[in-house]
Amino acid sequence: MGWMQRLKNGFARLMYGRNGPDQLGLAMIWTSLALDVLSIAARRFVPLAGAVLYWAAMVLWLTAFFRMFSKNLYRRREENSRWMQFWWKLRSGAQGAKARHADKEHKYFTCRNCKTICRVPMGKGKVEITCPKCGAKIYGKT
């Protein structure tokens, strides 16, 4: 067995039972890299801001590595699940807004009570919409 294979096997034994990299950890690493680049640029003009960004990046690096080597799998998976739920809401909201903006055949109204988005065909004049979720009335012009 070559030295590379022994190194690979040793790393696999080290990581056995540990969390390893997940989506939250990778997001933390990418964010810390961005903060590092910003700290380098900011240090030139505002040294204090550069130092603050540098230390924020270091805290993120350390937290990401702590999460990777953690053996408390339940807590790390719970944290990652909350991150993925937040990220999904953020991405799907932006994609939905982009799709609604591109739709030229319908007008969209948002219910004030439950924030449900209701779709109505364009060119119907003044309309009264009943929210399908909470039953509130929405008045608008298409």
Q: SS3 for 35? A: helix
Q: Which residues pair with 128 in a beta bridge?
A: 139
Task: Sort 54 into a burial class: Cβ within 10 Å, 0-12 / 13-18 / 19+.
Answer: middle
- Distance separating alpha carbons of residues 105 and 100, to the nearest angstrom: 10
pTM for this entry? 0.65
The string of pLDDT tens digits covering residues 108-117 is: 998 888 888 8
In the chain, where are the structural domains located? 3-102, 105-142
The string of pLDDT tens digits covering residues 61-85 is: 999 999 999 999 999 999 999 999 9
Predicted confidence band at 39 (pLDDT cuts at 50, 70, 90)?
Answer: very high
The string of pLDDT tens digits covering residues 51-64 is: 999 999 999 999 99
